[in-house]
Amino acid sequence: MSKIDTLICARWIVPVTGTQRLLENHAVAVHRGAIEAVLPIAQARERYTPNETIELESHVLLPGLINTHTHAAMNLMRGIANDMPLMPWLTEHIWPIEGEFMSPEFVADGTDLAMAEMLRCGTTCFNDMYFFPDVVADRVDRTGMRAAVGMIVIDFPTVWAANAAEYLEKGLALRDAWRGHSRITTVFAPHAPYTVSDEPLAKIRTYADEMDLRVHMHVHETAFEVADALEKNGERPLARLKRMGLLTPNFLAVHMTQLNDDEIATCAANGVHVLHSPESNLKLASGLCPVQKLIDAGINVTLGTDGAASNNDLDMIGEMRTAAFIGKVAANDAAAVSADTILAMATINGAKALGLDDITGSITPGKAADLCAVDLDAIETRPTFDPVAAVVYNASREQVSDTWVAGRRLLADRKLTTLDEADILARAARWQTTLSGHARDRNNS
């Protein structure tokens, strides 16, 4: 008998990679934060002496979900400006509010609120792009989640940095500060082609190549973005990024709703990853990302919510359902973007995009125990003929009972173990009071 920290026994396990699509009545042995073995429950009970055994008799155990595009602290702006397209939303509402209220406190309180929401829907890892990334990293560290934190760059001065050189300097300092951390990595995060000029982009390209770091950017989000770039520069944004040498396997392009066949072929040939954010694209009426076409071209497509100010939630369970349904419509094919494809997008594909697939993204011995459990014993998910289809097509995030990151149970029977719910709500309420007058003024003007 070997001693282990935890034995998780589940009705179903979906490893996501490997030869088995679905395991019934299996257990995951977890020791020192890692998955030690996946085996039938009876064998596991004979082989291991766990400190703790968790029985999930009506649950499906999945790899933790990976939200590959967030602006976590924007949870504090959820619902502040609705029913408008991207550019007026950004320029008339979001950027003025950020300009006035952005602070380390805002980012700490907003990121905690976001992490609480993410853990409650089974998310274990997120890829964030926001101001005060040093604060984001610190909150992630305290909470125990896994995250890729953005070294942001944008052409205008903000409270975080005065110019491109300072954004880069602070980003690189952030990278140095967190290098070697087991759960926190850093990625370059130039905001978008229309907000980052050639000089900082060229530097990012050089640094990313030298350091083998990811570059996370909003690209071809709207038809306006592409038409505006064509009018101003005579070039589509993707053509500019290609010319500048940014389209490599380190490049993570968010949104990508405006793509012609040549651009899809170029992205595929250069190993670009696409971070699909369907609900944000729908709410801002930005357009549809041709997910099945991208997959058919061999592109790694992942799933992200975007910020709660444009989604308006960080619910990866709901996002999977939306992505599946609009993926089918975009392809005009009910067989397109299947439930299994969607689950891979929300797990292993996200890990690949972030360069973390040796560590997370599937239930595989040797990887970190980043897991979530969904209780399918509910009116909404019975009968359960196929647990994967049940999770993607009809489960809700309230059915997520437990979430583990590196073997640590951060959500236990729907209770957060490292975040104080009452305190998070109190802080969110204070920000609501602070921001609400400003939201009213803008909405009435």
Ligand X SMILES: CSC[C@H]1O[C@@H](n2cnc3c(O)ncnc32)[C@H](O)[C@@H]1O
Binding positions: 69, 71, 98, 191, 218, 221, 306
225 interface partner picked from Zn ion, ligand X, none, CB below 5 to 8 A per type: none
- Report the residue from 58, 280, 349, 401 that binds ligand X according to the rule CB under 6 A: 280
Please give the residues from 89 up to 118 whose contact with ligand X meets the rule CB under 6 A.
Answer: 90, 94, 98
- Report the alpha-carbon distance of residue 216 to residue 398 in Å, rounded: 30
- Report the residue from 218, 397, 408, 409 that binds ligand X according to the rule CB under 6 A: 218
- Going by the annotation, the residues of the binding site for Zn(2+) are 69, 71, 218, 306
Nearest to 38 by CA among 68, 17, 66: 17
- CB neighbours of residue 100 within 10 Å: 12
The closest residue (CB) to ligand X is 152
- Report the alpha-carbon distance of residue 228 to residue 259 in Å, rounded: 15
- Report the residue from 36, 225, 306, 370 that binds Zn ion according to the rule CB under 5 A: 306
- Report the alpha-carbon distance of residue 397 to residue 66 in Å, rounded: 14
Integer CA distances (angstroms), 27 to 9, 261, 316, 365, 373, in order: 4, 45, 24, 12, 12
Binding mask 75-94 for ligand X (x = CB under 6 A): -----------x---x---x
Binding mask 260-299 for Zn ion (x = CB under 5 A): ----------------------------------------
Counting contacts by CB under 5 A, is residue 319 touching Zn ion? no
Q: Exposed, middle or buried by CB within 10 Å (0-12, 13-18, 19+), for 394?
A: middle
- The nearer residue to Zn ion, 192 or 411, going by C-beta atoms, is 192
φ, ψ of residue 152 in degrees (nearest 5): -75, 150
The closest residue (CB) to Zn ion is 306
The residue range among 20-28, 160-168, 300-308, 348-356 that interacts with Zn ion, by the rule CB under 5 A, is 300-308
- Report the alpha-carbon distance of residue 111 to residue 118 in Å, rounded: 10
Please give the residues from 126 up to 145 whose contact with ligand X meets the rule CB under 6 A.
Answer: 129-131
The torsion defined by the Cα of 157, 163, 169 and 172, in degrees rounded to 10, comes to: 60
Counting contacts by CB under 6 A, is residue 71 touching ligand X? yes
Considering all CA atoms of the chain, what is the largest pairwise distance in Å, rounded to the nearest integer? 70
Count of residues of this chain found to bind ligand X when the rule CB under 6 A is applied: 18
- The nearer residue to ligand X, 95 or 393, going by C-beta atoms, is 95
Binding mask 240-279 for ligand X (x = CB under 6 A): ----------------------------------------
The residue range among 20-28, 124-132, 137-145, 369-377 that interacts with ligand X, by the rule CB under 6 A, is 124-132
Structure tokens given for 79: 């619902």
CA 11, distance to chain mean position in Å, is 27
- The nearer residue to ligand X, 310 or 399, going by C-beta atoms, is 310
- The nearer residue to ligand X, 144 or 307, going by C-beta atoms, is 307
Q: Which residue has the tokens 């760059």?
A: 153
- The nearer residue to Zn ion, 279 or 306, going by C-beta atoms, is 306
- Report the alpha-carbon distance of residue 47 to residue 394 in Å, rounded: 36
Binding mask 149-168 for ligand X (x = CB under 6 A): ---x-x--------------
φ, ψ of residue 170 in degrees (nearest 5): -70, -35
List % helix, strand, coil for the chain (3-state, nearest 5).
45, 25, 35
- The nearer residue to Zn ion, 117 or 306, going by C-beta atoms, is 306
Q: Which residues bind ligand X (CB under 6 A)?
A: 71, 86, 90, 94, 98, 129-131, 152, 154, 191-192, 218, 221, 280, 306-307, 310
